[in-house]
Structure 1
């Protein structure tokens, strides 16, 4: 059992070396019906993630060093749609350890964002920036988000570079960070779905190790209980 635990610890440590992970956990909100008028949620041109169709988004996130005006760097926004009301979810962001970055993830209801001036201004600025980069209808966009009643959330990611270099250009223009954004639903609101195969594997190994250790223990007891062989004496 100790050997198995050590192997699992080594796997976790190797993952930690190769990549960093930050996440936020939340419950799916009640479904909402947004008015089908312009400008609508679809007009924001946000990248969208869904638990079944598009749970993973491979992207590059712009970053900047913390400043008084932006202590948490650059803000980017994403749409989480087709959620299940009351179900637990988590959004993880994974990025290489070779690109030191601090991330903050927050999930907001649509109503809360629209009623908060600071959040709506940040969302509008990001949407306007995206309009110049990708035209509406590109992959992973939020088409159809406001066409029916569904559970929606807006995800804000803040990214700040967290390293120091003597290269002035690198300090003034930090490169974008390669990242995977993952929307992961929980099974029975207990365990993330992506971890279910790992949990099943560990359980099978643990049960096998339990029976194997019991067999070895009984075998050692049987050997210990055997009488020592008698020695013949020659007169």
Structure 2
């Protein structure tokens, strides 16, 4: 029964496998952000170092001549620490084949480029309909604010082929986790700290266990040698 349970566990663990796409960046210098850019950014799904994970659904579509990387979604990365290294990850189930492309822009750059601004404005009504905002209040002052912030562009292209006409004409929403992960000392992601601690503990434990095993084996060998010598 135990063997059957292990086989089932291994089988089902393969069924829940997932994919990950990420981008790594240094947080920009804190700059003045125009009120209009902040207002639009606050209407996007927001991620911050304290509110670092968001589970949502993302629109995807098959690549076209006008949109080779698929459907575009936008997120606002706020309250970053200047010059700290971060990574943003998109995690999704392997049962939803999708090709993701991630890019970051400073808010003023995205706001001043007509194509990016138009893309954000098109996405905002969709984000409100899907109710994936994080509840951050919109600014009430007309004064610019200073922050280290970025806007994240996520392009999602459907990456499958099927004889099912419905799935080919209507790409379903993709369930994703969007994660903002700061790097500790700009070296490794914060989310890896538990894994790193576990590895260190296992390494230390393995060291002492190996010394104990070596001492035990050495003692047995010495005892056998002494017994053999005594018998002679």
Distance 1:106 1:232 in 2: 78
Higher helix share: 2
Question: In structure 2, the residue corresponding to 1:166 is in which secondary structure?
Answer: coil
Summarize the alignment of residues 48-127 of structure 1 with structure 2, pairs less than 5 Å apart. Answer: 48-52=46-50, 54-127=51-124
Residue 45 of structure 2: aligned partner: 47
User: Which ranges of structure 1 fall in alignment gaps of 5 or more residues?
Assistant: 1-10
| More divergent stretch after superposition (216-225 vs 150-159) | 216-225
Distance 2:62 2:37 in 1: 33
| More divergent stretch after superposition (214-223 vs 17-26) | 214-223
Residue 29 of structure 1: aligned partner: 28
Kindly indicate whether residue 145 of structure 2 is the aligned counterpart of residue 154 of structure 1.
Answer: no
In structure 2, the CA distance between the partners of 1:144 and 1:218, relative to structure 1 (3 Å rule), is farther
| More divergent stretch after superposition (163-172 vs 138-147) | 138-147
| More divergent stretch after superposition (215-224 vs 200-209) | 215-224
Aligned residues: 216
Contact kept, 8 Å, 2:37 with 2:108, in 1: the verdict is: no
How far is 1:142 from its partner?
A: 6.4
Residue 6 of structure 2: aligned partner: none
Question: In structure 1, the residue corresponding to 2:227 is in which secondary structure?
Answer: coil
How far is 1:215 from its partner?
A: 1.7
Residue 210 of structure 1: aligned partner: 207
Summarize the alignment of residues 172-183 of structure 1 with structure 2, pairs less than 5 Å apart. Answer: 172-183=169-180
How far is 1:232 from its partner?
A: 6.4
Distance 1:108 1:61 in 2: 19
How far is 1:116 from its partner?
A: 2.9
Kindly indicate whether residue 211 of structure 2 is the aligned counterpart of residue 219 of structure 1.
Answer: no
Residue 5 of structure 1: aligned partner: none
Residue 168 of structure 2: aligned partner: 171
Contact kept, 8 Å, 1:42 with 1:142, in 2: the verdict is: no
Distance 1:78 1:121 in 2: 15
Query: What is the TM-score with the length of structure 2 in the denominator?
Result: 0.83
Residue 7 of structure 2: aligned partner: none
Distance 2:85 2:175 in 1: 27
In structure 2, the CA distance between the partners of 1:196 and 1:100, relative to structure 1 (3 Å rule), is same
Contact kept, 8 Å, 1:23 with 1:105, in 2: the verdict is: yes
| More divergent stretch after superposition (77-86 vs 218-227) | 218-227
Distance 2:62 2:53 in 1: 26
How far is 1:147 from its partner?
A: 5.7
User: Which ranges of structure 2 fall in alignment gaps of 5 or more residues?
Assistant: 1-9
**What are the superposed Cα offsets for residues 147-204 of structure 1, whole Å, 9 maximum, x if unpaired?**
6311110000000111111011110101001001011111111111111011101110
